[in-house]
Amino acid sequence: MLRIGIIGTGGIANAHVQGYLAFPEHCEIVALADVAPGRAAQKAEEFGISAAGYDDPAQMIAEADLDLVSIATPPSTHAQLTIAALDAGIHVLVEKPMAPSLEECEAMLAAQERSGKLLSVVAQNRFRDDLATLKEVVDSGLLGSISHVRVDSAWWRGLPYYDLWWRGTWEKEGGGCTLNHAIHHIDLLLWLLGSPAEVTAMLANAQHDNSEVEDLSVAVFRYERGLAQLTSSVVHHGEEQEIVIQGQHARVSQPWKVLAESSDAAGFPARGGDAERVAAIEAIVANREPLAHRGHEGQIEDLLAAIRDGRKPIADGRAGRDAIEVVTAIYKAGIEREFVSLPLSASDPYYRAGRLVEHAPHFFEKTASLAEAAS
C-alpha cells in the first residue's frame, strides 16, 4: 500500500485526490500540505479522508513517511518541491508545466536520477480515448508521411482569472497561455510527431489588460518535410480545440474525422476518394479497447503500476522537460523575433532560470492580487 501526500490544495488538487481514491487497493492519501494555514486540513475534511494536514510542505516531506507525492502548486514552486521530495526518497507526480525554465527541469531530472525514484509530469490528455486513438492511427503508418498539423489550443478566460495572486506574472506563473494552457497540446504534438527542428512565433495580449503575460500566441514548427502550427489562446469563445493531421495518404483529426483523397489522371481529387484507406483507418478506431481509467485517474493508475513494476511511467520527466523546451523556443522566437533551432543548447540564455522574466515584455501590469480565486 503506497502512502500518498499532496502538496497544494487548490482546484486542480481535487483531480489528484479523486485519482488516488479510485485505487484504494494500491494507495492511501495520508498527508496534505498547503502554505495557506488550515487549507490542507479543510481539503481532507472536504473529501472525508483521514489525512494529516500540514501548513509547511517541507515538514510534510520530512515527517509523513511518504512513498509518492503529488505537487499541485504554482509553476514557480515545482522545481524546489520536486527536488526536495526526490532527495527524500519519494516518487513525484508534478502538475504541468514541469517548471518555467529548462535549467529547472534539468535539475529535477538530475534529482530523479540520483534518487532512483520515479518522476512523472501531468499529461492527462494522453489518457483520453479519442487522443489515444489518434496516436494509434498515426503510429499505424496509414497516413504516410506527415505534411501539416494544425493544433488549436483554444481556451477562454475572463479578466477575473488573472486576479489570483500568482497568475498573470512572468515570475510566478512563468508565462501565459503558451506555458499554462497549450502545454497540454504541445505534449500531445511531441507524443504524436516527435520534436520539431525549428520554431518561429508571435506573442500578443489581445484582451487581458490586467496581466503581464501573453493571452495569445501563434507558432509554426518545421519538421523534416512538413510543417505544424499551434495557436495558444485564452481569448477563443467556445473553446473549440482541435488537432488536424494531414498525411501523404489521409487526414485524421480530433474531434474525430477521417478523409482520404485519391488522384485522377490529371492529379485532381478523384470522385469517392480512397475508400479502402478510410475503411482501414476506421477499423483501427472500431477495434480499439477503451481505456479503463481516463485523465488524471488514468495517469495515476499508470504511475502506481510503474512504481510496482519498476518501469518508467508513460508521461515521465523527460517528456515534461521536452514540452518546456518547445515552450521556451516559442517564447524566445516571439521575444527575439527570430527562428529558433531545436534542441536548445545549455549555453542558450533562454535555457537559464530568470532569463524569461528579465526579457519578456510586460504587455500590461497586474492590477489585482487575490489570495484565493473567486468561487
Residues 86-96 pLDDT 10s = 999 999 999 99
Q: Strand 2-7 vs strand 68-71: parallel, antiparallel, or unpaired?
A: parallel
Let me know: does 98 contact 111? Beta carbons within 8 Å.
no
Is 365 part of a structural domain of the chain?
no
Per-residue pLDDT at 178 exceeds 90: yes
Q: Are 200 and 224 found together in one domain?
A: yes
For 91, phi then psi, to 5°, come to -65, 155
Q: What is the CATH number of the domain that holds 107?
A: 3.40.50.720
How high is the pLDDT of residue 375?
60
Q: Are 182 and 79 found together in one domain?
A: no
What's the mean per-residue pLDDT of the chain?
96
Per-residue pLDDT at 145 exceeds 70: yes
Per-residue pLDDT at 373 exceeds 80: no
Domain around 8: 2-124+294-316
Per-residue pLDDT at 194 exceeds 90: yes
Percentage of the chain beyond pLDDT 70 is 99
Q: Provide the strand spans (E) within 46-101.
A: 52-54, 68-71, 91-94
Q: Are 91 and 231 found together in one domain?
A: no
Q: Are 63 and 169 found together in one domain?
A: no
How high is the pLDDT of residue 371?
84
Task: Count Cβ neighbours within 10 Å for each residue of 282-315 and write b for 16 or more, e otherwise.
Answer: eebbeeeeebeebbbbbbbbbbbebbeeeeebbb
What's the CA dihedral at 368, 371, 374, 375 to 10 degrees?
A: 170
Q: What is the CATH number of the domain that holds 228?
A: 3.30.360.10
How high is the pLDDT of residue 177?
98
Number of domains, the chain = 2
Q: Are 262 and 340 found together in one domain?
A: yes
Q: Are 133 and 280 found together in one domain?
A: yes
Q: Each residue of 26-67: pLDDT tens digit?
A: 999 999 999 999 999 999 999 999 999 999 999 999 999 999
Q: Are 33 and 120 found together in one domain?
A: yes
